[in-house]
């Protein structure tokens, strides 16, 4: 609130990264008790402490919105609300999505994205184009009327055309690269993924297993279609491998291919 008041007479950029709801979960006692009294609070994956922390984040976002309104800035400010990864499966559920934080299933990488841009983004509208957090930098530069530094490589695209409803994006695929020397303590494995249209392929570096899903028909990623769709699988594998070569992304050796703990000596 203090930052907004100090900069209310000039253009400003505010990036607020809440520590809540990272574990260790510590909610305000009164709010935790409120959610413990809710029906079903004791059931599996119903977490009163997590719920209390989420309410505190809601209140914080509300305070920012009210401060902007109080200062007459609400109609001249874009607000973006999002997350960096899906919920941790030990303390919550991402159902109907599969998996959670540390995994490349949708429960680990599909997150909320809400944008309020008065006079530009249509209230109540829904955009179904897949986007990524790497798109925020070019988006904010365009909103601010700032030209990107030509010496800086930007991996994303500006979302302004989507927000304005005037066009789409140039790219036709999204990529993820998650090389690990050993499994993540939350269960994530060394892997990479690509999404093109409704199709998504995950390639596990530790076992060379590939999984193919149609996210339109199967958003919960329950049915691996790789054995039934070999041509689609091969096409996406080539797309993913070509992207890794293009950006020089290292792929770790499989455990049986080198000494224990070997990091990332192999590049395609």
Tens-place pLDDT, residues 46-55: 889 999 999 9
Between the alpha carbon of residue 246 and those of residues 154, 166, 175, 240, 243, the distances in Å are 14, 30, 12, 10, 5
**pLDDT value at 206 more than 80:** yes
In this predicted model, what pLDDT tens digit does every residue of 238-251 receive, in sequence order? 999 999 999 999 99
pLDDT of residue 39: 86
Residue at 144 is within a domain: no
Domain total in the chain: 2
pLDDT of residue 21: 83
How far apart CA 95 and CA 91 sit, in angstroms, is 13
111 and 44 in a common domain: yes
pLDDT of residue 20: 79
Residue at 126 is within a domain: no
CB 203 within 8 A of CB 242: no
**pLDDT value at 42 more than 80:** no
Pick from 255, 104, 242, 110: nearest CA to 178 = 104
Average pLDDT over residues 11-23: 89
**pLDDT value at 189 more than 90:** yes
Q: For residue 245, what is the domain's CATH number?
A: 3.30.1120.10
Residue at 242 is within a domain: yes
Of 121, 140, 163, which residue is a domain's last? 121
- To the nearest whole percent, how much of the chain has pLDDT over 70? 94
Whether the bond between 32 and the residue before it is cis, its omega within 30 degrees of 0, is no
Whether the bond between 24 and the residue before it is cis, its omega within 30 degrees of 0, is yes
Greater confidence, 43 or 64? 64
108 and 11 in a common domain: yes
Average pLDDT over residues 54-75: 96
**pLDDT value at 161 more than 60:** yes
CB 203 within 8 A of CB 210: yes
pLDDT of residue 262: 40
CB 141 within 8 A of CB 156: no
Residue at 108 is within a domain: yes
113 and 191 in a common domain: no
pLDDT of residue 223: 98
Local confidence band at 258 (pLDDT 50, 70, 90 cut-offs): very low
- Expressed as residue numbers, the domain containing 231 is 174-257
**pLDDT value at 25 more than 90:** no
pLDDT of residue 19: 81
Average per-residue pLDDT in the chain?
91
pLDDT of residue 255: 57
pLDDT of residue 44: 66
Residue at 263 is within a domain: no
pLDDT of residue 261: 38
206 and 109 in a common domain: no
How far apart CA 108 and CA 86 sit, in angstroms, is 4
Residue at 266 is within a domain: no
pLDDT of residue 268: 45
- Report the length, in residues, of the chain: 268
């Amino acid at each position: 609130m203090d930052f907004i008041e100090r900069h209310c007479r000039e253009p400003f950029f505010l990036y607020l990264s809440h520590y809540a709801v990272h574990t260790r979960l510590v909610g305000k006692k009164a709010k935790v008790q409120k959610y413990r009294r809710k029906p079903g609070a004791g059931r599996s994956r119903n977490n009163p402490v997590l719920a209390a922390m989420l309410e505190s984040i809601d209140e914080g976002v509300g305070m920012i919105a009210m401060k902007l309104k109080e200062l007459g800035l609400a109609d001249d400010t874009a607000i973006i609300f999002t997350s960096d990864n899906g919920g941790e499966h030990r303390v919550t559920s991402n159902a109907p999505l599969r998996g959670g934080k540390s995994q490349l299933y949708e429960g680990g990488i599909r997150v909320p994205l809400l944008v309020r841009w008065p006079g530009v983004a249509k209230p109540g509208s829904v955009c179904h184009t897949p986007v990524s957090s790497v798109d925020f930098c070019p988006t904010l530069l365009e909103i601010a009327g700032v030209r990107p530094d030509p010496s800086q490589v930007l991996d994303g695209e500006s979302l302004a055309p989507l927000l304005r409803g005037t066009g789409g994006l140039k790219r036709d695929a999204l990529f993820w690269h998650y090389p690990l020397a050993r499994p993540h303590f939350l269960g994530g494995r060394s892997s990479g993924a690509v999404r093109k249209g409704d199709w998504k392929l995950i390639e596990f570096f530790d076992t060379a297993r590939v999984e193919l899903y149609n996210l339109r028909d199967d958003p919960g990623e329950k049915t691996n279609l790789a054995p039934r769709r070999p041509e689609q699988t091969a096409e996406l594998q080539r797309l993913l491998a070509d992207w890794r070569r293009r950006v020089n992304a290292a792929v770790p050796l499989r455990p049986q291919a080198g000494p224990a703990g070997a990091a990332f000596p192999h590049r395609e």
